Amino acid sequence: MKWFSVVHLLLLAYIIAALTFWWLSLEKQSGIIYNKEKAALTLLVDSADAPKAYAKMHEDVALRRAKRSKQYLGEGLTFLVVILIGSSIVYTTYRFSNQLSRQQHNFMLLVTHELKSPIAAMKLILQTLEKHKLDEDKKKQLLSRCIEESDRLNELCNNILVASKMEGGQYQHELEQCSLTELAQSCYDIYNARYPNRFEAQINANLTVRTDRTLLQMVINNVLENALKYTPMGKPVSISLLQVNNQFLIQIRDLGLGIPDAEKKKVFDKFYRIGNENTRATKGSGLGLYLSKKIMHYLKGDIRLKDNKPQGCIFEISIPS
Ligand code: ADP
């Protein structure tokens, strides 16, 4: 990348130097022509009958020189502007495609890693079940872990699929009359069954809206999944649904470590994860919040992040009523 910027700057400097050189050379040549024409006029002066005619010819020679100077400068500057515009287009296109290919590379690494780990976990569980005679409780425990891993795999595949469809402008939304009360309640029920005693809910009754149910469910699931991942065991996560003026608000609160102000905007960027590979203890792809933001814009709503009290995050999903 750096070498491209250096070569690009060197080429631009060369083009500007070459243009200046050609402009100076042409000016010099124009000066020579002017002097020659003036000298030819001086030879003619004796034979010129009228001083007025001589003055007119002299003026014409000076005018032609001024015209040439303007022409050289005008053409040179136009050429320079065209080159600068062209080179800035090439430069930005190169930078953009470079950034895109780096992102795609990171994405492939992350996705492969994220896809492989639940598959490996499921395989291990199934091999354990196949090889060992286990009591019912242990079997149940392993099977529910297997289901958890397959849910994780399913959610990741859905996120990838919807993100790529939305980015390619191919996503066909399915707007339908949807009971937000039922949707929030069913998300709560599923998570509460999977992680007993970790969730609290406060869901207002009879709230309905015209929206894409599948997309909205994905957003709620992404945020609930994060609240679980980034909150220490034993601390509750709450989900509430309410109406404020002409908006429906779904708020998901956790008592985790929270997100520093400097990171609040960045967590919605594609592939962004706080910390680095060595310090992160949780699994993830950095796609969930990016996709959630994209979906909420698509649904003409929003997703905002606030600080919870005394600690943790509040993710607020707003849907116009
Ligand atoms: P990931 O797959 O990494 O969870 P997300 O896009 O869902 O990707 O989240 C981006 C980052 O935002 C996460 O890596 C995490 O660092 C941070 N984050 C998201 N939700 C929470 C939360 N509830 N509490 C603390 N940090 C969070």
Tell me the CATH number of domain 114-167, given options 1.10.390, 3.30.70, 3.40.50, 1.10.287. 1.10.287
**Minimum mean pLDDT among 9-18, 23-32, 100-109, 254-263: which range?**
100-109
Q: Which of 127, 117, 187, 195 has the alpha carbon at shortest distance from 153?
A: 117
* Among protein residues, the one whose CA lies closest to atom 19 of ligand 1: 226
- pLDDT tens, 240-284? 999 999 999 999 999 998 999 999 999 999 888 888 665 567 777
Confidence of residue 158 (pLDDT cuts 50, 70, 90): confident
As a CATH number, domain 176-320 is 3.30.565.10
In the chain, % of residues over pLDDT 70: 94
Q: Position of tokens 């010129």?
A: 48
User: In the prediction, which pLDDT does 110 show?
Assistant: 66
Domain ranges for the chain: 2-100, 114-167, 176-320
Residue 280 confidence (pLDDT)? 65
Q: pLDDT at position 224, please? A: 94
Phi-psi region at 125: left, alpha or beta (left = phi > 0; alpha = psi -120 to 50)? alpha
Report pLDDT for 316: 98
Where does ligand 1 bind, in terms of residues with CB under 6 Å? 222, 226-227, 230, 254, 256-257, 259, 267, 272-274, 284-290, 313
> For residue range 105-151, what is the model confidence (pLDDT) as tens digits?
766 776 777 778 789 889 999 999 999 988 999 999 999 889 988 98
Ligand 1 centroid distance, CA of 101 (Å): 24
62-96: pLDDT as tens digits = 999 999 999 999 999 999 999 999 989 998 998 88
Point out the least confidently predicted range of 49-53, 91-95, 179-183: 49-53
Please state, rounded to an integer, the average pLDDT across all residues of the chain.
87
Which atom of ligand 1 is closest in space to residue 254's alpha carbon?
23
**Nearest protein CA to atom 16 of ligand 1, as residue:** 274
User: Quick one: which of 224, 238, 235, 220 has its CA closest to 292?
Assistant: 220
The pLDDT assigned to 29 comes to 93
For residue 48, pLDDT over 60 is answered with no
Q: Structure tokens of 219? A: 């957003």
Res. 165: pLDDT tops 90: no
3-class SS at 232?
coil
Please answer whether residues 253 and 304 qualify as being in contact, where contact means their C-beta atoms are separated by less than 8 angstroms.
no
Select from 273, 280, 313 the residue to mutate for testing ligand 1; criterion: most ligand atoms less than 8 Å from CB. 273
Ligand 1 geometric centre to CA of 274 (Å): 7
Helix (H, G, I), strand (E, B) or coil at 84: helix
Biggest CA-to-CA distance, the chain: 128
- What span, in angstroms and rounded, lies between the C-alpha atoms of 321 and 318? 9
Secondary structure (3-state) at 202: strand
Where do the DSSP E strands lie in the chain? Answer: 176-179, 199-203, 208-211, 237-244, 247-253, 302-307, 313-320
- State mean pLDDT over 2-28: 89
209: left (phi over 0), alpha (psi -120 to 50) or beta: beta
Using CA positions, which residue lies closest to atom 14 of ligand 1? 273
